[in-house]
Amino acid sequence: MAGWRSFPAAVALASTAMLTLAACGATAGGTAASASGSSAAPASASASASAPAASPQTLRMAIPGDPVGFDPYLTADANTVALTWNLYDQLVTVDTKGNLQPDLATAWTASADGKTLTFKLRSGVSFADGHALTSADVKASFQRMLDPATKDPDASDYKVITSIDTPDPSTVVMNLSSYDAALLSDLALPFAAIEPAGVDPATLKNKPDGTGPYMLKSWTPGQDVVLEANPHYWQPGLPNIPTVDMKIVPDPATQIADLLAGSVDILPGLSGQQASQLKGQSGIQLEQAPSGNIQIMAINNARAPFTDVRVRQALSLGVDRSAVVQGAWFGYATPVGTFLPPNSPYYAEQPAPYDPAKAKQLLAQAGLPNGFSSTLDLPSLYPVHIQTGQVIASQLAQIGVKLKLNQVEWATWLSQDYGKRQYDLTIISHTGRLDPDTLLVRFTSTYPYNYENYKNTTYDGLIAQGRTSQDPAQRKQIYAQAQSILANDVPAVFLDVSDNVVAIRQNVSGWQWLPLAVDQLAQVKMQ
């Protein structure tokens, strides 16, 4: 009898655990791909390798959601550009260390004043539809991107480009309104993809046409996105795998089940929790690299008591970052005390000690010896932020800061917290791009999404100076100074930089993480 009574409680407990587990994976930003023919799951790789019919023609991957479309000029969605990266090329690209490398341009030079950039285009490049790339395509691409009618959400990163000249079919000259230190690395981002001239923009959303290693074969919303090798691709021998079938699998627990069952070969963008579940499973290999994703607890600097810098400093001192890394990321992250990732050449390490005694002291000095109460908004789309919030709330309670945890749906968070700046504290991640400016500019007082309401004219001046400096050594110095201001002023509590993790079945190899949030598939191999 007692057994029966306690059964519903056990079920409730188990289902809560499952819910948490299911929730956790949603954070995984990336996509997964899978390869290899039939829907019958091969129980082992050796079995499928020996069977003649199972020649690895298809990489099967799981992605968490539908793309927003395939036109890189119409989206800032990370999952979408992770995918379009394989359909398009840019003028330049990056290697795994973040160094700029030639892509469609084989060489580039800047004028002495930095206001003119000249690119030499690679010869023998064709779009997926077969027509050859010329400077006219590059010019038309940037014209379309910068045309306000296109409504490119990322166009502001390229607004210094005033005009483009095409002296001959293989030369592109960009005229800039002013020197912009971030521009060249911005040109390596998926948002600066080169599209064909004269294409009807309306068709690009569903029928992409790029020079990348893959082209779109089909997209069935909610079901899958199938890519096939671009026969005109300019890099000989690539891509290695002729077809990539990206299954749309939103549920993190199902993503793992798919991989373990062998119906998916590769699962990029794992959350720490997913990674810890897959670690040590036979036949599954994990590959990780630091991402550019910085988790912060944003503070509304315009609201009391956070207007007092001592209160903000107390929050930073009251958080044990290593506990957050373990509790929310299952170890797949690195603590930081600044707003740049440690793999950035401009990273200047800032101390981020856990010192509750000093935190209490600062609160007392600020007139809050008994602490205070506040609300911590947690975007429910991202379970990792919820877990981080729970860890932080218990830590800050020890210095007298009582946090009410408030889960907020994503659309609401974007509108209220991020757009209207109506919040006390919230937890979110920001993804850096290649140039330090893309992250650090967020705390300048005129930045449209400075939702922390942080204002510091010295900081504003430094960021403006860094953007126009042509001397890398000087920039390094400027950004080190800017980072020490942030560490001191604590406009937000900088928490950690997560790892990019991919899980691969043993028949797949060659995965490389780039320091961009993209899934690069051309080099991936299957046995």
- Residue from 41, 51, 357, 405 touching other proteins (CB under 8 A): that is 41
Binding test (CB under 8 A) with other proteins, winner from 257, 304, 397, 405: 257
CA distances in angstroms from 427 to 123, 308, 334, 469, 483, listed in the order given? 47, 20, 17, 33, 20
Burial class (CB in 10 A: 0-12, 13-18, 19+), 167: exposed
Binding mask 68-87 for other proteins (x = CB under 8 A): xx-----xxxx---------
User: Binding residue for other proteins (CB under 8 A) from 49, 173, 414, 480?
Assistant: 414
284 binds other proteins (CB under 8 A): no
Q: For other proteins, which residue of 260, 363, 392, 482 counts as binding (CB under 8 A)?
A: 260
Give whole-number Cα distances, 240 to 190, 303, 522, in Å: 21, 55, 6
State which residue, 248 or 328, has the beta carbon closest to other proteins. Answer: 248
Considering only the stretches 179-187, 320-328, 394-402, 414-422, report the one whose residues sit in contact with other proteins under the rule CB under 8 A: 414-422
CA distance 481 to 471: 16
Q: Which of 449, 461, 470, 527 contacts other proteins by CB under 8 A? A: 449
Among 261, 304, 357, 405, binds other proteins (CB under 8 A): 261
Q: Which tokens sit at 470? A: 């042509």
What does residue 279 show for φ and ψ, rounded to 5 degrees?
-60, 130
Distances (CA, A) of 403 to 388, 391, 426: 13, 11, 11
CB 406 within 8 A of CB 376: yes
Binding residues with other proteins: total (CB under 8 A)? 57
Q: Which of residues 104, 183, 248, 503 is near other proteins by CB under 8 A?
A: 248
Provide, rounded to whole angstroms, the least separation between the CB of residue 430 and other proteins. 8
In this structure, what are the phi and psi dihedrals at residue 220, rounded to the nearest 5 degrees?
-110, 105
φ/ψ (deg, to 5) at 29: -80, -25
Query: What is the separation of C-alpha 72 from the centre of its chain, rounded to a whole number of angstroms?
Result: 15
User: Does 263 participate in binding other proteins (rule CB under 8 A)?
Assistant: yes
Quick check: 211 and 194 in contact, CB under 8 A?
A: yes
| Residue of the chain from 101, 220, 375, 474 that contacts other proteins (CB under 8 A) | 220
**Cβ-based nearer residue to other proteins, 134 or 426:** 426
How far apart CA 127 and CA 132 sit, in angstroms, is 6
Q: Is 51 in the site for other proteins (CB under 8 A)?
A: no
DSSP letter at 133 equals P
User: Segment contacting other proteins (CB under 8 A): 146-154, 272-280, 332-340, 386-394?
Assistant: 146-154
Q: 4 or 473: whose CB is closer to other proteins?
A: 4
* 435, 472 contact by CB (below 8 A): no
Q: Which H or E run includes 487?
A: helix 472-489
Say whether residue 424 binds other proteins (CB under 8 A): no
C-alpha torsion angle, residues 65, 80, 82, 199 (rounded to 10): 140
Single residue of 148, 198, 280, 351 touching other proteins by CB under 8 A: 148
Residue 205 or 525 having the CB closest to other proteins? 205
Contact with other proteins (CB under 8 A): which of 50, 446, 448, 473? 448
Stretch of residues binding other proteins (CB under 8 A), selected from 66-74, 105-113, 234-242, 452-460: 66-74
Cβ 44 to other proteins shortest distance, Å: 10
Which residues are within 8 A (CB) of 521 and not within 5 positions of it... i.e. 6 or more apart? 33, 59, 86, 213, 214, 227, 239, 241, 244
Torsion of CA 250, 254, 260, 265, to 10 degrees: -20
* Out of 228, 258, 265, 460, the residue judged to bind other proteins by CB under 8 A: 258
CB of residue 260 vs other proteins: minimum separation in angstroms?
5
Binds other proteins by CB under 8 A, chosen from 89, 137, 209, 224: 224
Q: Which one of residues 36, 56, 66, 215 is an interface residue with other proteins (CB under 8 A)?
A: 66
Which DSSP letter does residue 293 get? E
Exactly one of 3, 8, 198, 280 binds other proteins (CB under 8 A); that residue is: 8
Q: Say how far apart CA 173 and CA 167 lie, in whole Å.
A: 8
| 47 binds other proteins, rule: CB under 8 A | no
CB of 518 to other proteins, least distance (A): 15
Residue in 156, 373, 394, 445 binding other proteins, rule: CB under 8 A: 156
Q: Which is nearer to other proteins, 111 or 203 (CB)?
A: 203
Site for other proteins in 392-411 (CB under 8 A): 409-411
Q: What share of the chain is helix, strand, coil (3-state, %, to 5)?
A: 35, 25, 40
Please report, in angstroms and rounded to a whole number, the separation of the first and last CA atoms in the chain. 56
Q: Which residues contact 16 (CB under 8 A, 6 or more apart)?
A: none
Residue 232 CB partners (closer than 8 Å, separation 6+): 126, 127, 128, 130, 211
Residue 446 contacts other proteins per CB under 8 A: no
Please tell me the distance from the alpha carbon of residue 415 to that of residue 315, in angstroms, as a whole number.
Answer: 25
Residue 148 or 351: the one with the smaller Cβ distance to other proteins is 148
> What is the per-residue binding string for other proteins in 198-217, x denoting contact by CB under 8 A?
-------xx-----------
The binding site for other proteins (CB under 8 A) comprises 7-8, 11, 14-15, 18-19, 22, 39, 41, 43, 66, 68-69, 75-78, 148, 151-156, 205-206, 220-224, 247-251, 253-254, 257-258, 260-263, 381, 409-412, 414-416, 418-419, 448-449
